[in-house]
Structure 1
Amino acid sequence: MHKSNKVLNWWNLMTPVARAVTIALVAPLLVLNAWAISSIFDYFHSLLVILIAASLLTFLLNYPVSFMQAHGATRGRAAIVVFLFTLSIFLGLGVTLVPLAIEQAQQLVLRLPEWFDSGQRQLFLLNDQIESAGFPINLDILAEQITDRLKSSLQGITGEVLNLAVFTVTSLLDLLLTLVLTFYLLQHSDRLWQSLIEWLPTSIRQPFSQTLRLSFQNFFFGQLISATLMGSTLTIIFLVMRVPFGLLFGLTIGTMALVPFGGSVGIAIVTLLVALRDIGVGVEVLIAALIVQQIVENLIAPRVIGSVTGLNPVWVFLAILTGARVGGLLGVVIAVPTAVVVKSALVALRSPTPVIVTPADHAAISQPNTIAEKPEQKAKEIASSQPVES
């Protein structure tokens, strides 16, 4: 009997009181370990951010490198070509779109006070129409409170925009280190990964490696496809609709869509900002963004990448909150695929055989028609397929 089965049987044989005592003893240790890991992460935050960011870039770029290797190119030559091509794309975006987006962001910050005043006037007009219709509702106080809070928040946003140049200078060294580490990881990632998984037991090396790869692959490619389609499509739509700062708003929604639920938050923020200036245009922006979001997330992305995580949306949300608390923005990025790996490990511990469940298996389990047939039905089919003796 496997060790996991022994642990599960031991847990099932325990009385409820014994289980409660065990949980009470183990829970503080888990909390203490989590606090220690968080403290270590905070101390080595800069180094870990560089390492994890370079690892994620290497993971994504490893697919074209492997494709070129399959067609006869050496690992080193393929890594150089892919790295230079990716770097040229980033430089092109940095020269064209990024300066325009930063310029529009600065203009938006300057115009936000006017938009707040416009939003306050629209609330006053709405209040007058409601009072003229005979409804005992007064929005004047609400309008003043909303305007005051938004203006106070504007001061913080303005300070962050003014410090944007300083932030860019201080992060330049980290960016260069990340690019250099990515370049070397692309050339030697296969041998490095093999040396790492050799520390694991032989029986779970391949299942763990496959589960980890599929979890991150499905998540990142799914989010990347959704974010790219949403960002590019909404940018074009906003420019056609002549929405103020359409390029900035489209890129903002697309960037936030890289994180689960980020696209919805971005749509809400953009709609609120546009509605401050003109509530009619805000409604049009909301309708267009929701239509594009539903098409991308429910029709296009699932057909291209299939099931992304296999996690319940509640667990996805909790994983994002935990990742944000522990690792900030980088924790948000890796929270969901990490949660998928943890769930697969827990499912493997409960199963009678030590098999790690992949995200594709989670998706199959959620669809009853794709599961193996019932034993009775299978037995009938086998019996019907046997030749009848005369």
Structure 2
Amino acid sequence: MENQDKNHTDEPIPKNHFTPNSRYFTILVYALAFVLGAILIYIFIGHFNVTLRLIGQIAHLLSPFITGAFIAFVLYPLVHLLYRDVFTKRFKMAVRPAKMLSILVSYLLAIGIITVLLVFIIPQIYESLSDLTQLLPVWYNNAVAFLEQFEETHTALSFIDYNVLNEKIYSALPKIVDYLTGIMTNILPVIVSASMAIVKGVLNFVIAIIVSVYMISDHKIIFYHFKRLMYTIMPKQTADTTRSILRESGNIFSSFIIGKAIDSLIIGIICFVCTTIFRFPYAVLLSVIVGITNIIPYFGPYMGGVIGGVVILIVSPVKVIFWAILILIIQQFDGLYLGPKILGEKTGLRPLWVIFSITVGGSLFGVVGMFLGVPCVAVLSYILNLAIEHFLKKKNIYITPYDNTDEM
């Protein structure tokens, strides 16, 4: 009997019997994923317009949640600051009421800032633009008279073609006047249509506010479920690396956006105080221009200075020189002290890469691209640096860090 059992167990396995192999199964999964990805890329490229339209429809459908996530992303640092340093540490409140009060105060502050912008600043900007539109014909006539007098008194300058110069001026300045006049005459219909759009989208905005409140309140639960899903799909080491990258990317974006907004707000206030003290015309309009353009690194301050200089040139050409000096002082203060104090080295980018990100982002997505190009390139630089360090470590190669000195 023992011999029969022994002979039975020693029978060879048939050749057509399937033996599971985890290695081949993994290869099969990766092959299927590659084929599926190639098909999706082909569909995306081959039907690009349809894909963009589909993405637009999905984004429109999810717009309340996308807007709510952006609001939560912007307001969470303020909520966390109030919760940690004010209501918990200073007032010794319990967790739940401290959280509720932190969210409430943060949203009230945000609504207050928006109300100030709508009620006080925008009407003054409109009034300034109306005054400039009325002053443009006078400035135009003075400029033409000055050029005619210059031509009469400097006929010996043969290298200047006055006919071409006059033709350019006579054709350009009326177009500018008509363009600005058209803006001012059409601004009320634009405001009405925008108001109707706001009324139509008020439901989505209310939903976005509610979504943002729940995202801030339940962010730990959301991160917990996302973490579970990520570790379910990915290997542990990959999930750990992904979490680290996402955390650092979020820190880069939030630090840059919030820090740059605070920096630009302070610069706008300083500009308003200085323009009011030195009696520059249209102090509110100039301060808003400087504050908004200051959001764009490097090029923004110069853009704001040039636009403000054109506005002052129309009203008081003599003050343009003092305006240039004022802008130079403010921007030096921002670049040497205020900016580094608020932003520090959040992006970790050298000036060359900052200029590259602004140029490429601006050419692709306009002003928004110029602003968001810096943190996007900073995130890509961070991920690329991690990949390079990983492959160098696998090859057992160590490269001495560069000496950050001014020596050649």
Q: TM-score, normalised by structure 1?
A: 0.70
Contact 1:319 1:336 in 2 (8 A): no
Q: What CA deviation, in whole Å up to 9, does each residue of 1:353-375 have, x standing for no partner?
A: 699xxxxxxxxx78726xxxxxx
**What is the DSSP-based 3-state SS (H/G/I as helix, E as strand, rest coil) of the residue aligned with 2:79?**
helix
Aligned pair in 2 of structure 1 residues 348, 101: CA closer, same or farther (>3 Å)? Answer: same
Whichever residue aligns with residue 368 of structure 1, its letter is N
Gapped runs of 5+ residues in structure 2?
A: 1-37, 394-400
Mapped contact 1:127–1:140 kept (Cα < 8 A): no
**Is residue 235–residue 250 contact of structure 1 (8 Å, CA) maintained in 2?**
yes
1:100 paired with 2:130, answer no
Q: Which moved more, 1:204-213 or 1:87-96?
A: 87-96
Query: Greater CA radius of gyration, 1 or 2?
Result: 2
Among 318, 335, 346, the alignment partner of 1:297 is 335
Within the candidate set 344, 359, 384, 1:318 is matched to: 359
1:183 aligns with 2:213: yes
| Cα distance in 2 between the residues matched to 1:172 and 1:259 | 31
Given residue 187 of structure 2, which amino acid in structure 1 is its aligned partner?
V
Corresponding residue for residue 45 of structure 2:
32
CA 249–306 in structure 1, closer or farther in 2 if over 3 Å, else same:
same
Cα distance per residue 1:81-105 (max 9 Å; x no partner): 3222332333244333333233333
270-279 or 332-341: bigger deviation: 332-341
Distance 2:133 2:59 in 1: 30
Q: What are the residue-to-residue correspondences of 1:213-362 with 2, within 5 Å?
A: 213-260=250-297, 261-311=299-349, 312-321=353-362, 324=365, 331-352=369-390
Identity, in percent, stands at 17
1:331 and 1:248 map into 2 onto residues whose CA distance is 24
Question: Cα deviation per residue 1:20-42 (whole Å; 9 max; x = unaligned)?
Answer: xxxxx9xx979939956754554
Higher relative contact order (CA 8 A, sep 6+): 1
Alpha-carbon offset, residue 205 of structure 1: 3.4
Secondary structure class of the residue paired with 1:279: coil
Answer whether contact 1:348 1:354 (CA < 8 A) is retained.
no
User: Aligned partners of 2:360, 2:43: CA distance in 1, in Å?
Assistant: 17
> Any residues of structure 2 matched to 1:166-205 within 5 Å, and which?
166-174=193-201, 176-177=205-206, 178-196=208-226, 198-199=229-230, 201-205=238-242
CA contact (8 A) 1:225 1:301 kept: no
Mapped partners of 2:303, 2:53: distance in 1: 30
Which 10-residue stretch deviates more, 220-229 or 186-195?
186-195
After TM superposition, the structure 1 = structure 2 runs for residues 77-96 of structure 1, keeping only pairs within 5 Å, are 77-96=101-120
CA 1:229/1:69 → structure 2, altered by over 3 Å: closer, same or farther?
Answer: closer
Q: Structure 1 residues 149 and 40 mapped into 2: Cα distance closer, same or farther (>3 Å)?
A: farther
- The number of aligned residues is 331
Equivalent positions of 1:362-377 (< 5 A) are: 368=404
- Give the TM-score normalised by the residue count of structure 2: 0.68
